[in-house]
Amino acid sequence: MYTEYWKLKELPFENTPDPRFFFSSERHHEALSRLQYIVRERKACGVLSGVYGCGKTLVLHALRKSTEPEGCRYAVLSNPRLDDLGILRMILRSLVGQDVPSNKADVLMALQDHIEGVAHDGKHTVIAVDEAHAIISNDVFEELRLLLNFQTETRFLVTLLLVGQPELRPKIEANKQLNQRVNLHFHLDAFSAEDTARYVRHRLSTAGDGAGEVFTAEAVELLHRHSGGIPRWLNHFCHMSLLAGYTKGLRSITPDIVEEAVQSVKGSV
Domain boundaries, the chain: 26-188, 191-266
Fold of the domain built from segment(s) 26-188: Rossmann fold (3.40.50)
pLDDT averaged over the chain?
Answer: 94
Q: Are 246 and 252 in contact (CB under 8 A)?
A: no
Please tell me the predicted confidence (pLDDT) of residue 269: 42
Burial (Cβ within 10 Å: 0-12, 13-18, ≥19) of residue 212: exposed
* Confidence category of residue 139, pLDDT binned at 50, 70, 90: very high
Share of the chain above pLDDT 70, in %: 98
Q: Which CATH architecture has domain 191-266?
A: Orthogonal Bundle (1.10)
Convert the pLDDT of each residue in 203-222 to its tens digit.
999 998 655 689 999 999 99
Convert the pLDDT of each residue in 44-83 to its tens digit.
999 999 999 999 999 999 999 999 999 999 999 999 999 9
